[in-house]
Amino acid sequence: MEYVITPPPVPTLPVEGTEARFPVHRIYCVGRNYAEHAREMGHDPTREPPFFFLKPADAIVTDGADFPYPPLSKDVHHEMELVVAIGKGGANIPVEKALEHVYGYAVGLDMTRRDLQGEAKKLGRPWDTGKGFDASAPCSSVAPASKIGHPSKGAIWLKVNGETRQSSDLSQLIWNIPETIAYLSTLFTLAPGDLIFSGTPAGVAAVKKGDVLEGRVEGVGTIKFKVV
């Protein structure tokens, strides 16, 4: 194949226990999937159908690389999340079969320009500038489900400069992982390489240059990086 311009590189994540990497296709994110976070954002955490937004695949920052503070915002928030890495695609996936589509799990941050997102909400505009900016998806290596299984409970936390900012448990997800995959696959045909950021617990707050963020999901992995 000849291209008229150089094709962009495929964004990838490291995989635990191998030199081979996980190629990223799309990044889906779930909104308001922990009740306490829905409340802190001023919403009633009823079990309404989940909603989704996307980030570009090349928003991935991995291998411990720095997170560059993005332009045109004075209020960039951290959102610590469990990330699902899809290994087998499909549409209209039943809940009972959903986990068969998972290659593994990672931990990531849905970094958010909260001021731009808030303005978009107020004006009824899309969230892309608030959510889908460059480097908005720091992510750890992927732990294969063949090694760690499919976590449905376990601590999820984020520390900023050593102080705990977010702390919850995967069991507090409003829509659990199989339900999220099943629902998402009615809206989009999932493909190998898709990532699903599954939502953040309460405690989202602003970061500033120089901050060191360290997050963990028990049984899955750790992420650590610096805001520059």
Q: Closest CB to Mn ion among 79 and 194?
A: 79
Shortest distance (Å) from residue 90 CB to Mn ion: 24
Shortest distance (Å) from residue 172 CB to Mn ion: 14
Query: Max alpha carbon distance in the chain (Å)?
Result: 53
Binding of residue 166 to Mn ion (CB under 5 A)? no
Convert residues 97-136 into a mask of x (bound to Mn ion by CB under 5 A) and - (unbound): -------------x--------------------------
Closest residue to Mn ion using C-beta atoms: 110
Applying CB under 5 A, the span of 19-27, 73-81, 150-158, 187-195 interacting with Mn ion comes to: 73-81
- Nearest alpha carbon to residue 185 among 96, 55, 80, 105: 96
Binding of residue 200 to Mn ion (CB under 5 A)? yes
Phi, then psi, of 158 in degrees rounded to 5: -135, 130
Shortest distance (Å) from residue 86 CB to Mn ion: 18
* Count of residues touching Mn ion (by CB under 5 A): 3
**49 CB-near residues (< 8 Å, 6+ apart):** 183
Edge-to-edge strand list for the sheet holding 52-55: 52-55, 27-30, 195-197, 80-86, 102-109, 143-144
Shortest distance (Å) from residue 29 CB to Mn ion: 5
Q: Closest CB to Mn ion among 21 and 206?
A: 206
Binding of residue 79 to Mn ion (CB under 5 A)? yes
Shortest distance (Å) from residue 1 CB to Mn ion: 36
Phi, then psi, of 101 in degrees rounded to 5: -90, -5
CA distance 175 to 198: 9
CA distance 153 to 91: 26
Convert residues 19-38 into a mask of x (bound to Mn ion by CB under 5 A) and - (unbound): --------------------
CA distance 74 to 58: 23
| Residues contributing to the site for Mn ion (CB under 5 A) | 79, 110, 200
